[in-house]
Amino acid sequence: MATFATKAHQELRSLGGGFPLRFIELSPRMMDDFLWCLVDNLLLLNKKGLAPKVLHSHSIYINFNKGFIATADMQLVKEESVLAIYTELFRYFILPREAVLRNPELTNGVKRLGYIDPHEFLCIFSNTLKVLPAKLRRRIAASRVGYPICLKSLNEIFVVGIEILKRQNFGNEQYVRFLRRYLCRLKGNKAMPVVREKWTNYYSGMEVTDIINREDWQKLNFIDERHKKVFELLSELPKGQVLDIASNTGLFSFIAQRAGHSVIAVDNDHGAIDKLYLYVKEMDLNVVPGVLSFRDLQGPTGTRFRSDYCLALGLTHHLFLVEGMSWLQIVSTLEQLSGKVLITDFKPITAARSDRLQGFSSIAGRYSLDQFLATLRTVFGKVEVFNPMKGNHRALVRCER
């Protein structure tokens, strides 16, 4: 075995690494940048006669200054079967990327699935092959012919050499030629389309980056007293890692970053995280964005995201009234994610509701600040409430172990 030794990875190590994400936790534009880096790294490894043992199950470290995104801690072996790498690269990375490029509405389904079988891809996206009998389509998809046809059905400009279509002649030369051509495709292709989901334009009335004073980056242009109070609470804490849950496009992530902390910002809205990703790249902010829902953070995944401090702002009313989670479920998860301090809030007046939940009236009857605080006090040693401030009717809550 060898250590992953590409230039991008060495640069990340020299900078102290980063926060590990999974491919399914990347937004579409992050996916695009990652794939570019991955193909480039595979070419570098190939020159050394090495190849990754497995591609799809490794963590991804993000660094916006040095090569965007790099895959870390891969086990490397002497190159044996480039066909196996080629197949895995298509199923887990290229076809999901091409599917999202073709139809942004499929983003969430593609990401949850984790990979796309070439037969499924051809059935969905290839108008030419839809007329063929299903049995013949499956045979084409199962052969090496299926993968290049997947790309040709999307973009006729992308041409794969005839030798790559023949399994028996697929060797290192054809593998390298394919990687080079796909890298050119990534560089020359149009950018990922804008993905718009339910909460993507939550801050449509303002530009969240306006909170950062561009003339003096140490200053913030606070929009209301609540934002200012959150900044004060975070500034009082020793520098650490902040997890911003339901970050949307990053308003409170920017506040936490300006308070001196590193930030992991997660939201289940791909469009919002795409916007945040572009902001972070543009302004060189110490924020790592990722696509995860609150439920994704429960269980083993939550252990990876556990941080010194946790922000859960503009979230609890939705979890209780729309998702149907109990105060105990909500608070237990927040406690697991908060190493030292949790900053959350309570929205007393809200139109949030779910017609899908049985007995909604009884659920709404249990939605009160007193019950929320009582549950918080069962797991946190100190719970402090800041009454609704001017310009905002939410009660801010600081919890400490």
Q: Which stretches within 79-171 are classed as H helix?
A: 82-89, 95-102, 107-113, 118-125, 134-142, 146-152
pLDDT tier, 163 (very low <50, low <70, confident <90, very high otherwise): very low
325 and 362 in a common domain: yes
Are residue 137 and residue 269 in the same domain, yes or no?
A: no
Same domain, 247 and 280: yes
Q: Is 382 helix (H, G, I), strand (E, B) or coil?
A: strand
Percentage of the chain exceeding pLDDT 90: 27
How does pLDDT run across 275-303, given as a tens digit for each residue? 898 888 888 788 899 999 999 999 888 88
Instruction: Tell me which of 269 and 217 has the higher pLDDT.
Output: 269
Looking at this protein, which amino acid is placed at residue 302? G
> So what's the pLDDT on residue 327?
95
On whether both 52 and 147 belong to a single domain, the answer is yes
Are residues 264 and 184 both part of a single domain?
no
Count the domains in the chain. 2
Angle at 220 (CA atoms; ends 217, 222), nearest 5 degrees? 165
Report if pTM > 0.85.
Answer: no
For residues 77-81, give the mean pLDDT. 65
Q: How many angstroms separate the CA atoms of 120 and 99, rounded?
A: 11
Based on the fold, state whether residues 213 and 303 are members of the same structural domain: yes
- Here the CATH number for the domain that contains residue 293 is 3.40.50.150
Q: How far apart are CA 352 and CA 270, in angstroms?
A: 21
DSSP letter assigned to residue 210: G
Residue 350's pLDDT band (cuts 50, 70, 90)? confident
3-class state of residue 298 by DSSP: coil
- What is the structure's pLDDT at 195? 78
Does residue 36 fall inside a structural domain? yes
Kindly state the average pLDDT of the residues 256-261.
91
Q: How far apart are CA 374 and CA 138, in angstroms?
A: 58
pLDDT band at 16 (very low <50, low <70, confident <90, very high): very low
Are 172 and 225 contained in the same domain?
Answer: no
Range of the domain at 47: 7-188
Greatest mean pLDDT among 58-62, 82-86, 368-372 lies in: 368-372
Same domain (yes/no): 180, 234: no
Give the pLDDT mean for 93-121: 76
Question: Is 199 a member of any domain?
Answer: no
Crossing angle of helices 118-125/95-102, nearest 10°? Answer: 20
Q: What is the mean pLDDT of the chain?
A: 77
- 320 and 355 in a single domain? The answer is yes
